[in-house]
Amino acid sequence: MPKNRGEIMSKRILRVDMTKLEAKFEDLPADFVALGGRALTSTIVAKEVDPLCHPLGPNNKLVFAPGLVTGTKAPTSGRISVGAKSPLTGGIKEANAGTNFSQKLGRMRIAAIVVEGKHTGNDYYLLKVTMDGAEFVNAAKWLNKGLYEVYKDLFKEFGNKVGISGVGIASEIMGAASGICFNDPEGLPSRYAGRGGLGAVMASKGLKFIVVDETGAPGVEILNQEAFDMGVRKLTNALTTHDVTKPGGALNSFGTAVLVNIINEAGGLPQRNFSSGQDDRSEKVSGEVKADEIKKRGGQRPHFCSPGCVIQCSEVWTKPGGKDPVGVLEYESVWALGPNCSIYDLDIIGELNRKCNDLGLDTIETGDLLAVAMEGGLTEFGNGKGALKLMDEIKNKTPTGRILANGTAYVGKAFGVTRVPVVKGQSLPAYDPRAIKGIGVTYATTPMGADHTAGYAIATEIMGVGGTADPRDTKKADLSRNLQIATAAVDATGYCLFIAFAILDIPEGLEGVVDTLNGVLGTSLTVDDVPGYGKSIIDTERAFNKAAGFTEKHDRLPEFFLKEPIAPHNDVFGVTDEELDRVWGE
């Protein structure tokens, strides 16, 4: 291997065989060189995983891939993609997070970690990855423990400069609501590739943690420094001048929860398990109120999820006096664990979020499953203490806890609830599709299951970014398709999706993204190449899902969205099946 940055070193894949407990590096295939992030995870899953395999069996594979520019000085580019066949949806899945773990992989020139096979014993393992290779460490002493405690232990044992990825108690019971946790800059277990049950896939293989030590890393190779530097300048300028992403702007000042008041006012903030779209009490948990409370408590706001982010929409929420830091309370988490459960107390929401982080649960799926459990009679809507007790059922691995840990659809079936907000088995995020139609089209038609980030129509429908659109207009196939294609491309780069606010409105920003890609890859791409690149990723994912048995009938919302009007607009979803099928024209 190279001993210094000046020596030539190609990008690599670390292939981890959990059956044999072997890990070895191999060169990245030439036809994968221009793939990163979601493009690489979905390509490897599509090529190497049988679409009909059991997601928790030995034939599924779990792929970690930093984006193409992750690990460079490109702004806001610390994302990692994780892919597999999902135990929640039964189809292909990509979930991503912002963390320095991904930046370390990029600088180590590890294009992907592919975890395959399945350990046949009862032991769990930690995989320590260095420039020289990887070694397995028995992880038995960290079982049945919360991740806040364990991450402290891991940093103490392996040093405070490593990056950590891991799964929690919810994954130990193979819960399809479990995600994969990455450390934030303070070492807290608060950055999640949460969606799709990928934590259960990792645990099913006998892998509990991955610890990355980048000592001696050569850094990301940049083949055209001039193009790269020009791209950094263009994109940074766009991000620091757009009202949503600039310093002192909406995201920087109030975090993602700035959307609570905005979406509530639009009548699209689901309340009480999607039975209403508006409640005046939601203001109590808004981004503005939360930012003020963080300042009083001595937490952090603004904050970055990974070094190099110029948007800094993150934060560290604490108890009064700055005690017991939780990490970030995202908009989706505040809504799911709050108004969707008729809970309007930030302290209770913060503790529910802490339990999600500690147990290794996706906050969106957890908030939705709690609301369905409330409707099913396990506790009352608005009962924060009751919700916390339900989380302890998961912690204690009780039969009820195992039902809850398997997600919203599973809970609905177990307790006879008919208002179950899921698409392809994955629960809906914080926008009611009856009030905001375009995001509903994305929920229905993305290969990922209900996922707002797959094609964020809210940007245009509510925020007026990238143009304007009436949120109640049912003709949204074109808007959703274009945003899904653009999002897939962004997910491959390693840039945060939030750069979209700037690059949709400022053409120079998109040019900057392409310039940085040309700098890293030594290519001559133009902005005209972006749609084709994004579409190719989605085509790969849709082909996998089709082989897994998906049809156009899976690209639909649950019945109650079509039949039950939502207050305050008293409207149903109303988008026709023909319009939904027009998204992909098949």
Angle of helix 37-48 versus helix 477-493 axis, rounded to 10: 90
Residue 518, helix vs strand vs coil: helix
Q: Does residue 360 contact residue 169 with C-beta atoms inside 8 Å?
A: yes
pLDDT at 468: 96
351-398: per-residue pLDDT in tens?
999 999 999 999 999 999 999 999 999 999 999 999 999 999 999 999
**Residue reference for tokens 């110029």:** 310
Q: What is the mean pLDDT of the chain?
A: 96
Q: What is the mean pLDDT of residues 61-80?
A: 98
Q: What is the CA radius of gyration of the chain?
A: 22
Tokens of 51: 């679409």
CA 317 to chain centre: 20
pLDDT of residue 256 exceeding 60: yes
Could you report the per-residue pLDDT of 134-147, keeping only the tens digit for each? 999 999 999 999 99
Domain ranges of the chain: 12-212, 247-431
Judged against a pLDDT cut of 90, whether residue 586 lies above it is answered with no
Which residues, in sequence order, are bridge partners of residue 319? 323
446 burial via Cβ count (<10 Å: 0-12, 13-18, 19+): buried
| pLDDT at res. 9 | 76
Between CA 199 and CA 206, with CA 201 as vertex, the angle to 5 degrees is 95
* Separation in Å, CA 508 to CA 302, 463, 487: 26, 20, 18
DSSP string, 182-193: E--TTS-S-EEE
**What is d(CA 494, CA 79) in angstroms, rounded to the nearest whole number?**
5
* Average pLDDT estimate for 222-228: 98
Q: How far apart are CA 5 and CA 178, in angstroms?
A: 38
Q: How is domain 12-212 classified at the CATH fold level?
A: Aldehyde Ferredoxin Oxidoreductase;  A, domain 1 (3.60.9)
* Residue where the block lists tokens 């005690």: 323
Q: How far apart are CA 371 and CA 366, in angstroms?
A: 9
Over residues 497-511, the mean pLDDT reads: 96
* Residue 125 structure tokens: 């393992």
Spatial strand order in the sheet of 180-182: 133-138, 125-130, 207-212, 163-166, 180-182, 191-193
pLDDT of 8 reads 56
Tokens of 412: 């609905």
Nearest to 346, CA basis, from 298, 417, 294, 295: 294
| 559 backbone dihedrals φ, ψ, rounded to 5° | -55, -40
Residue 76's nearest CA partner among 239, 292, 251 is 239
* 247-431 and 12-212 share a CATH fold: no
| DSSP conformation letters of 170-212 | HHHTT-TTB-EEE--TTS-S-EEE-TTSHHHHHHHTTEEEEEE
The CATH architecture one would assign to domain 247-431 is Orthogonal Bundle (1.10)
Q: Rounded to whole angstroms, how far apart are CA atoms 190 and 182?
A: 7
Structural contact between residues 189 and 147, judged by C-beta atoms closer than 8 angstroms: yes
**Residue 125: its H or E element:** strand 125-130
The strand pairing partners of 115, in sequence order, are: 16, 62
Return the H-helix or E-strand segment holding 543. Answer: helix 530-547
Give residue-wise pLDDT tens across range 398-443.
Answer: 999 999 999 999 999 999 999 999 999 999 999 999 999 999 999 9
Cβ neighbours for 156, distance < 8 A, ≥ 6 positions apart: none
Using the CB atoms, write b or e for 332-369: b if 16+ within 10 Å. Answer: bbbbbbbbbbbbbebebbbbbbbbbbbbbbbbbbbbbb
Q: Residue 83's beta-bridge partner residues?
A: 63, 94
Residue 483, token pair as written in the block: 């945003």
Rounded CA gap, 577 and 562, in Å?
Answer: 11
User: How buried is residue 495: exposed, middle or buried, by Cβ count under 10 Å (0-12/13-18/19+)?
Assistant: buried
Average pLDDT (266-292) is 98
Average pLDDT over residues 1-9: 46
CA distances from 88 to 70, 92, 427, 446 (A): 28, 10, 9, 15
pTM as predicted: 0.97
Residue 325 is inside which H or E element, if any? strand 323-327
Three-state DSSP at 413 gives helix
Nearest Cα residue to 101 out of 83, 87, 81 = 81
The predicted pLDDT at position 6 comes to 40
Say whether pLDDT at 506 is over 80. yes
What CA–CA distances, in Å, run from 229 to 162, 238, 353? 28, 14, 39
d(CA 1, CA 7): 9
Q: Are 101 and 164 in contact (CB under 8 A)?
A: yes
Is the model's pLDDT at 197 over the cut of 90? yes
Q: Are 340 and 384 in contact (CB under 8 A)?
A: no
For residue 241, the tally of other CB atoms under 10 A from its CB is 16
229 Cα distance to chain centroid? 28
